[in-house]
Amino acid sequence: MKILGIDTSSKFLGIALTDGSTLIREEMHLLERRHSSLLVIKIKEMLEKVDFSIDDVDAFVIGLGPGSFTGLRIGVSAVKGFGIATDKPCIGVPSIDALALNVDEENKLIVPIIDAKRQQVYSAIYQKKKNRLVRKTKHLLLKPEDLIRKVKDSAVFLGDGIDPCLYREKIERLSKNAMFLDEGFWYPKASSLIKLALSKIDKYKKTDLAKLRPIYLYAKDCQVRK
């Protein structure tokens, strides 16, 4: 089964094509705010490199965030369009869960931190046991210091929220046993989305596209000021 994974939750576009659990090709493109103009183009280019077309894809997996409001809307809308055009299953997976898979450490807590603006972060607390990722909290939107109070043991932190210009110093001050991953591990991989979706795909013979929605943790009005 050929599966196309797409993530638009960050400034990067992540795309991957697998045959079941076997990776065929994966790419990351720094698009910043150009997802709307380049998403379909980059997907088409990647598929052409391996002699595939969108009609050859058997299922689509999209990252649901949390993350960039605009990027998420563009990604989910694109996958809905692919689903309508091809009548193939479309599965949504939290991008932050895929981000946690970037950590190989067993037993230590895994804490992705994504900058949510307005002095808040998106996060959740995970742990890997016997190579299985377990999420120990719900998806969170909160102040960094409130998150650190929830981290009781030594932990691995990753995500753009640990940038030295953002919250790294605060984490170092409040968490005694903090370990930080390099910037190359700060963003979710599309192949990780597919890995998390594999067990669900067989159940999605027909997708209710109306239920495929991004994860918005802010209030509905998002409190955005012009």
DSSP string, 115-148: E-STT-EEE--EEEETTEEEE-S--EEE-HHHHH
Answer whether residue 204 shows pLDDT above 70.
no
Q: Is the model more confident about 176 or about 189?
A: 189
φ and ψ at residue 76, rounded to 5 degrees: -65, -40
Beta bridge partners of 113: 123
Domain range for 143: 103-185
Whole-number Cα distances in Å, 77 to 82, 118, 173, 210: 9, 26, 41, 11
Q: Are residues 122 and 145 in the same domain?
A: yes
Q: Are residues 76 and 121 in the same domain?
A: no
Confidence at 205, pLDDT banded by 50, 70, 90: low
Question: pLDDT for 66-95, tens place per residue?
Answer: 999 999 999 999 999 999 999 999 999 999
Q: Are residues 116 and 156 in the same domain?
A: yes
Q: Is residue 225 part of a domain?
A: no
Q: Are residues 24 and 85 in the same domain?
A: yes
Q: Is residue 77 part of a domain?
A: yes
Question: pLDDT for 134-167, tens place per residue?
Answer: 999 999 999 999 999 999 889 999 999 999 999 9
Beta bridge partners of 18: 3, 23
Residues written for the chain: 226
CATH number of the domain that residue 176 is part of: 3.30.420.40
| Residue the block writes with tokens 């990753």 | 158
